[in-house]
Homo-oligomer: A and B are copies of this chain.
Amino acid sequence: MTMNIEQYINILNKTDFKNLYDNDFFLTWEKTDDELKAIFTMADALRHLRENNISTRAFDSGLGISIFRDNSTRTRFSFASACNLLGLEVQDFDEGKSQVAHGETFRETANMISFMADVIGIRDDKYIGKGNKYMHDFADFVRQGHDDGVLEQRPTLVNLQCDIDHPTQCMADMLHIIHEFGGVENLKGKKLAMSWAYSPSYGKPLSVPQGVIGLMTRFGMDVVLAHPEGYEVMSDVEEVAKKNAAASGGTFTKTNNMAEAFKDADIVYPKSWAPFAAMETRTEMYGRGDMAGIDKLEKELLEHNKENINWQCTEELMKTTKNGKALYLHCLPADITGVSCETGEVDASVFDRYRDPLYKEASFKPYIIASMILMSKIKNPQEFLQNCVKRDLKRWMK
């Protein structure tokens, strides 16, 4: 599906993405279809250029600031790779907890680290109602700083996972689907099952299932969300999914039956997450410093999970999918039965068979992030692509 650079430019020429420029990326459903298409197109174009050893440097100097308020390996390296690909140097901000305890200091810190920052990437996914808000505050503070003449440039923000959405992950997942099915036009009527799956490790954020139903309902697919009772996701996001499905000519349905979701599915995404209500309780407990309460809650939830131990992506279940060959997705790392845990989300043989596609799925993330950065920083990306080819700067003198 690789095209020459003119073809990417032609797609961009027919796409309205002007509002991406000088803007932040919080949630996929805040962006138009055209804007998402532009980001996918630029991600493919950047990969195409890199594969052809053509430098995509857009910055001669400048910083990409990363703030990880939760552990991360692959997103950290994806953000670092994306920045490096464009010529930005990553500087990690390891905030002391006390330093941002007060609103005043947070506004100050946001500006103090941004004097030469072109982009800020933030992961803050652990507490309901907090992460997305933190990102908005940060973006507001630095926009203000720029408006007031404090910052010479406005650093734009990329959401590297919040409590609501995980846009860089889900956009990478989606670009993988598009490539696997040979184009968006082939997705109409395809069935995608976003299903809860058993895990012995509690507390996984809801941002992936929410991000998946909030994004993948926009391409005319039949998206099914499956989970045991009690494992609901945010109702606001379900509303988004319903509207998306209606607008795209697809469907969005829910079930408490994993087998029903997998039946004849073209794509399956079995993955554990914590119940929304528990996440809310946890956030309140955290707010009042009730760590003993959190410990107790986590134990209860592990017990709760166990009641649904049969929610596993087994070989048997995979056989019930379309031709027994649904595309298996996961954001990684997965809880693999007999490998990373005794009993987990997926059978080892299923995971093994899909290892290559899973790794490829992950490989889109650096390009999605780079594309998000570029589309927010460069007014005329078509001209940029043209220049990359014209200036003949090799990525690597091999």
Query: Residues of A at under 8 Å CB distance from B?
Result: 47, 50-51, 55-63, 71, 73-74, 77-78, 80-81, 84-87, 89-91, 93, 96, 99, 102-105, 108-109, 111-113, 115-116, 118, 145, 148-153, 332-333, 336, 339-340, 351, 356, 359-360, 362-363, 365-366, 377-379, 384, 387, 393-398
Contacts and interface: CB of A to CB of B under 8 A. Distances in A.
20 contacts: A47-B152, A55-B61, A58-B397, A59-B396, A71-B96, A73-B112, A77-B112, A77-B115, A89-B90, A105-B340, A108-B333, A108-B359, A112-B362, A115-B362, A115-B366, A149-B360, A150-B356, A150-B363, A377-B398, A384-B397
A231 B362 CA distance: 48
A393 to B, nearest CB: 6
Nearest to A111: B359
Contact of A60 (B55, B74, B102, B377): B55
B51 A152 contact: yes
Given A91-B80, A105-B333, A57 B51 contact: no
Nearest to A86: B61
Contacts of A397: 58-59, 378, 384, 387
By DSSP majority rule, is chain A's interface helix, strand, loop, or mixed? mixed
A62 B377 CA distance: 21
A377 B351 CA distance: 33
A395 B59 contact: yes
Contacts of A50: 152
This chain's copy number in the assembly: 3
A378 B81 CA distance: 21
Contacts of A59: 395-397
Given A71-B96, A112-B332, A378-B397, A91 B77 contact: yes
B393 A60 contact: yes
A363 B84 contact: no
Nearest to A370: B116
Contact of A332 (B74, B78, B108): B108
Contacts of A60: 55, 57, 393-396
Interface centre among A47, A77, A340, by most chain B C-beta atoms within 10 angstroms, is A77
A84 B63 contact: yes
A201 to B, nearest CB: 11
Contacts of A377: 396, 398
Given A63-B81, A89-B89, A378-B397, 14 more contacts: A55-B61, A59-B395, A63-B80, A73-B109, A77-B113, A78-B115, A80-B91, A81-B115, A84-B89, A84-B116, A104-B351, A145-B359, A149-B356, A378-B398
A55 B50 CA distance: 23
A115 B60 CA distance: 22
B336 A104 contact: yes
A333 B105 CA distance: 7
A109, A149, A340 interface centre (most CB from chain B within 10 Å): A340
Contact of A115 (B61, B363, B395): B363
Contacts of A105: 333, 340
